[in-house]
Amino acid sequence: MHLTLIGTGFVGVVTAAVFASFGNEVVGLDIDQKKVDSLSKGVVPFFEPDLEALLLEQQKSGHLTFTTDYHTAITSAEVIMVAVGTPSAADGQADLTYLFSALDSLAPHLHKETIIVIKSTVPPGTLEVIDLRLQRLTKVPYHLASVPEFLREGTAVWDTLHPDRVVLGATNFDVFEKLELLHQPLNAPMIRVKAASAQMAKYSANAYLATRITFINQIADLCEKNDADIEEVIAAISPDQRIGKHYWYPGFGYGGSCFPKDVSELAAYSRSVGEENNLFNNVHELNTRRIPKIMDQITQEVGGWKDKKVAVLGLSFKPNTNDMREAPALKTIEYLVAAGAVIQAYDPQALETAIHFIPDHPNVSYFSRLDEATKDASVILALIEWPQITDFDFSTVKNDLLEQWFIDARNQFDPKKIKAWGYNYRGIGR
């Protein structure tokens, strides 16, 4: 099948490479010439395990190309997938500017019946708005569908190749058939639904997981008010098959480019349809306030930050990515700098990204070696569960001259071991 992917972010590049690996002729289209040049040379402009190898393989096979030229990319396509960003606008609702702009640009180049699949996360009702817009721009017949994406950064290639399900949102029987055929090699259950249901499913999945994380964070906070240990509570409730173990580790709150945005968009959508008092407002608020709240408590415990060296370990929003969107490091470092701390930051992949995300400050320096970042640090703050951090032997960097704190922001370490090495240990809810 001839397939065009518009937008070469995570979803676009991974989807393009995976569908090319199934023997389709795939074109990746982006208006960003630099990105297209880089991808055309087989270089992925962000860190995502296994993606570059797959990309190179597919480029070599001739099934995958990249371009900025709408004409080339659209005229050959039987299916066009739009995977551009839909960031939150100031009022919290999804900003559809990039999506509309992509559709406006593709419309004049349609010349045969085409299926246009929206992969970007959009609120229910968006296909109707798109339809009205396209009708004004082209007389060529097209079909709209909504096929949301459930891949995670850091495991994007694996997730795309092994989805739990493929959700196809459309109305026309032939469109369902063609989209099923395209997704057949994934060997996953296909769920045919209305477009609005597909869009709600995407928001629901992310909002549910974000709510679950917020829930366990709240329980962890309650555990700190008594003698309970959140890890024991989790061990005690997760064997209940109705509850389970997934997305169940407490911490500094959820981050990344999706959960914060999607929860706030669902809250804004709820308000826009008259559901003023909704769960998602609260989930969003609680997550937004989480880092300053925990940091206030930690401040009391460590006795303030003025001129203290703090090793901040893990700058990306989670392991196996260099993405720092809504990463806990951002608010944490901002808090610490304002309190007068001296930051020694380490990350295995995100140091270059950090330059763009963290304002230059004389008190913030970056280290590519973990042991150097911890040198003379009064506080070690293990923010992200990169294996390079969780597998590190912190007994080797214990400074005998200092009273040292070890803050385990994701409960990844054995408190007994850390204490036995001489640190004051502080986890979450334990």
Binding-site ranges for ligand UGA (CB under 6 A): 149-153, 206, 209, 213, 247-249, 251, 254-256, 258-259, 317-318
Nearer to ligand UGA, 151 or 397 (CB): 151
Are 48 and 321 in contact by the 8 Å Cβ rule? The answer is: yes
258 in active site: yes
Strand order in the sheet with 114-118: 64-67, 25-29, 2-6, 79-82, 114-118, 142-146, 166-169, 190-193
Length of the chain: 430
Q: Whole-number minimum distance, CB 385 to ligand UGA, in Å? A: 8
Widest distance between CA atoms in the chain: 77
- The pair phi, psi for residue 285, each rounded to 5°, is -60, -50
Smallest CA-to-CA distance from 255 within 109, 132, 152 is with 152
Secondary structure element (H or E) that encloses residue 364, with its range: strand 364-367
Partnered with residue 6 across adjacent β-strands are 29, 82
DSSP structure string for 272-341:
HTT--S-HHHHHHHHHHHHHHHHHHHHHHHHT--TT-EEEEE--SSSTT----TT-HHHHHHHHHHHTT-
Q: Whole-number minimum distance, CB 155 to ligand UGA, in Å? A: 8
- The pair phi, psi for residue 338, each rounded to 5°, is -65, -30
Are 13 and 91 in contact by the 8 Å Cβ rule? The answer is: no
From the list 258, 283, 384, 409, the catalytic residue is 258
What are the helix (H) ranges across 125-194? 126-137, 156-161, 173-183
Could you tell me the two tokens for 358? 């963290």
Q: Whole-number minimum distance, CB 142 to ligand UGA, in Å? A: 25
Residues 6+ apart with CB under 8 A from 408: 382, 415, 418, 425, 426, 427, 428
Are 88 and 261 in contact by the 8 Å Cβ rule? The answer is: yes
Nearer to ligand UGA, 258 or 418 (CB): 258
What are the helix (H) ranges across 138-183? 156-161, 173-183
Nearer to ligand UGA, 23 or 387 (CB): 387
User: Which residues are known catalytic residues?
Assistant: 258
